[in-house]
Homo-oligomer: A and B are copies of this chain.
């Protein structure tokens, strides 16, 4: 005889992040696909550290930060006064936003959850349930917008195209490819390996091949050569940020390939849900510098001379003249015309 037990069910905020009754669990993308392990975070501080340590990447930090705010809300509910709860939540939000400042997704999701917090405090309601629900909504909205953006992007990719991508554009890329495949077009892909973390070699290559797209891997230095031989039809990446004047901020290496794409007349297509209204130009974006030691190692093993130091500027900025199209959830824009994204709101 079996006795039914009450097993708590996790909230699956994304494939990479689970909100569970006792903790948040984040899929460790640093070792994927060689190992599939989850990092357990008991409070928002542990989530913040996991984000800083690159446990999750691409849109992962958005989901992780939303989940971290949920843990913070649970802790805040144990505080005696509304003011203490407010202060705790504000500090938790700031901690999470400070983890990685180049991409604006953490900033935006935290801002939304702090608004929900205010509303709950004003209504005298506990925070945990409201914040978790809003976190889940934010995640779902992100995925839905990515899907719409993918449809707009797919229209730029012709049948038979060879699509080159850099780093790991996650749902931006998979939704684009899924839309291409739904339309009956066939494409193949080339991924840069994306040192030092090898997101391209591990995550992008794995995902595209899983979708049935013939996928070849190159080192980060080979893109221009393939373009010079006419072997690339489109260069497609996500953007961590697109400024209102059309600068594309993305994983370091993007600029170099975008310049080459321009030289060989290969359209560079940058994917982002929306340009960032808070960033009129590139000066408004803080570029993250990471520990140069990463460049001296490959998956934890020293691969450089012991006599040198590494430097690791994690992002670069591609000026609008090298960008053919910015694709958003509201359609395709010239990098010179991003103000029209917000046109109907004005």
User: Residues of A with Cβ closer than 8 Å to B?
Assistant: 33, 166, 190-196, 198, 201-203, 205-206, 209-210, 215-226, 228, 252-257, 259-260, 263, 292, 295-296, 298-299, 301, 303-313, 316-317
Contact = CB atoms under 8 A, between A and B. Distances in A.
Contacts of A304: 193, 198, 201-202, 205, 217
A346 B311 CA distance: 49
Contacts of A312: 218-219
A228 B252 CA distance: 12
B309 A217 contact: yes
Contacts of A220: 195, 219-221, 253
B216 A310 contact: yes
Identify which of A196, A217, A305 gathers the most chain B CB atoms within 10 Å of its CB: A305
A20 to B, nearest CB: 28
A224 B255 contact: yes
Contacts of A317: 225, 228
Contact of A219 (B209, B253, B259): B253
A191 B308 CA distance: 10
B299 A298 contact: yes
Given A196-B219, A218-B295, A259-B260, 20 more contacts: A193-B195, A195-B220, A198-B303, A198-B304, A201-B303, A201-B305, A202-B303, A205-B308, A206-B305, A206-B307, A209-B305, A217-B295, A217-B311, A218-B311, A219-B252, A220-B253, A225-B316, A226-B313, A298-B303, A299-B303
A289 to B, nearest CB: 11
B256 A225 contact: yes
B305 A33 contact: yes
Instruction: State the copy count for this chain.
Output: 2
B228 A316 contact: yes
Contacts of A224: 255-256, 259, 316
Contact of A221 (B195, B217, B303): B195
Contacts of A192: 221
Nearest to A197: B219
A109 B33 CA distance: 47
Chain A to chain B: the 6 pairs with minimum beta-carbon distance, closest first: A221-B253, A209-B307, A224-B256, A225-B316, A220-B221, A201-B304
A307 B196 contact: no
Given A193-B304, A195-B193, A221 B252 contact: yes
19 contacts: A191-B308, A198-B304, A203-B305, A209-B307, A210-B307, A215-B308, A216-B292, A217-B304, A218-B295, A218-B310, A218-B311, A218-B312, A220-B253, A221-B252, A221-B257, A222-B253, A222-B313, A228-B255, A299-B301
A9 B260 CA distance: 52
B311 A216 contact: yes
Contacts of A195: 193, 195, 219-221
A253 B303 CA distance: 19
B253 A216 contact: no
Contact of A256 (B193, B203, B216, B223): B223
B215 A194 contact: no
Contacts of A216: 292, 308-311
Given A195-B195, A196-B219, A219-B196, A225 B295 contact: no
